Structure 1
Amino acid sequence: SRKSSLRAEDTLESIQELGSLELMGRDLGLAHCGPLRKSISADSLNSISSIGNNFGQDFTVGQVEVSMEYDARATALHVTLLQGKDLLEKEDTRFESCFMRISLLPAEQIVGISRIQRSAYSVAFDERFSVPLDPAALEENSLRFSVFGIDEDERSVSTGVAELKLSDLDLATRPFNAWLYLQDTNKAVDTVGEILLSLSYLPTAERLTVVVVKAKNLVWSNAKVTADPFVKVYLLQDGRKISKKKTAVKRGDTNPVFNEAMIFSVPAIVLQELSLRVTVAESGEDGRGDNTGHVL
């Protein structure tokens, strides 16, 4: 059930504000804690009982697990490539091996390049890289994680990428660990708005709270002049939907304010295996609506 505000005990765990995220366009790929793009159909999400293909498989080219921590005394950022899976498409026979490159944006400074991996489908990297970085740069810089396939002529071809804004990660106070979805580099970026979210997790109650704060500058589908937006939040495990909640509908508002908290029961042991998909949708007369955009 939806709640309009957090309960008192939620204040025991600080709320982590993710900041404004850009909406991803309808026909494009996924990003982790990145731009909200135009949305593929949320109906493609597998149900709780289904054993179908993973959500988003046509729009991503694998995943990589990374961890980061900031050493304030040494003024250095430490980045670890932990593991990857399905970094290259199995149907693509051009590549015999692959590697990953980490770059610091906007200067395109190379932080590190991984060892070449002969198998792209289950990779154990366990490689740590460090780059000097002033504390102020945590608010200004991003990291780009790129995967490259190596063909039989030993040419390197970029196949997937994920970007993280360091300002979203609160590295000055705690380390960060997550699986990143790599977006196909052949797909363009097309943003259709921004959304502001907050997350908190209360270990004692095994409760994950997602607060949908507000959205702004929404661009409606099919060139509509106005629409009635609402937000759907999906909890995913291995790409499959295990829970879904949604906000109330806001009438004719391109900058809707929701301020709605959604509570998910999440055992701590599986927390690192889960991801969230947040979709802004347009309410229709028949109860169904077009999806404006999403972030994963």
Structure 2
Amino acid sequence: MPGLIPDLVSGILWPHWALIVAALAAGVLAVSCLLCAICCCCQRCRHRKKPQDKVAMGLGSVCSSTTTHLVQPDVENVDSSLGGPRQWGRIQLSLEYGFGSQEIRVGLKQAADLRAKGMADPYARVSVSTQAGRRHETKVHHGTLCPVFEETCSFHVLPAELPSATLKVQVLDFKRFSEHEPLGELCLPLGTLDPQHVMEHWYQLGPPGTNEAEQMGELCLSLRYVPSSGCLTVVVLEARGLSSELAEPYVKVQLMLNQKKWKKKKTSTKKGTTAPYFNEAFTFLVPFSQVQNVDLVLAVWVRGLQLRAEPLGKVLLGPRASGQPLQHWADMLAHARRPITQWHCLQPSKEVDRILALQPRLRLPVPRP
């Protein structure tokens, strides 16, 4: 009917501006609902087309060489590239042979690009094939993959043995309570080198091999020193990896002062085991003024079927030690009144006696029935 809408508008008590605002709000709401409906429809269409468009595509199907170089390589290519010659890192060595002293002088400079899971605590172990059991261990460098050693060691090699001798350098990751993880290894034939000149080169590390030094066994011990009272507490915890032919292993703890035998004690004997558990503590009174003149030697002895005890291996700790034993001794002095526990590889008894300048005892022949 003509005039109906103006009559209805005039009958509403709201002001004109309120009506305009309500009309605009209704329009905005309608447009929003329409856009939402359109978006939902598009999403459904995409989900329906996705299974048809899902096609696997690799770099092998691309013919253009330019595209292949610009795109990131596949996972298989990355894994294969890790097997290159630089995966184990490098080590810098200097070699010098003295004909007068008949010694090969090895200078451990530094290592770089070591491969480990995160940061490592690397150290190096050096040995020569002509001297079985003789080895040198560097200081442990914490939290780095590029350690700087700057250490020197020497090995006695006769000129006739030089062409067949092999220098072996192992880089290991130090673990205080578990087996040390090998990071790389270098086997360098000394016969290919010129002994008349000092040579310093970077060498590529190869994959680590078997560790012969740990075949003798390992010993776990704890050290604690109290400077105020001068109490040195040595706790022999356990051993592992001993020879299967051993019958009754035990440990001798010997303290030396100024390269002379001072005090000694020993643990109880464990029968029929290659992994004995001792957990025995020994206390020595060592004044703080003499702690730098003390050497601690722990020897694993065995009593075989012939009822004669023989030393299987020894561990030397103190100022004259090297490698991990020296680090253990330094940690004990740096953390006074706190027990420091660590595993140690057994060294040959003759090697420890040579470092301590001990003379071997003359054994009397045992009469046989």
Higher strand content, 1 or 2: 1
Mark the structure with the bigger radius of gyration: 2
Q: Give the shorter-chain TM-score range.
A: 0.3 to 0.5
* TM-score normalised by length of structure 2: 0.32
* TM-score normalised by length of structure 1: 0.40
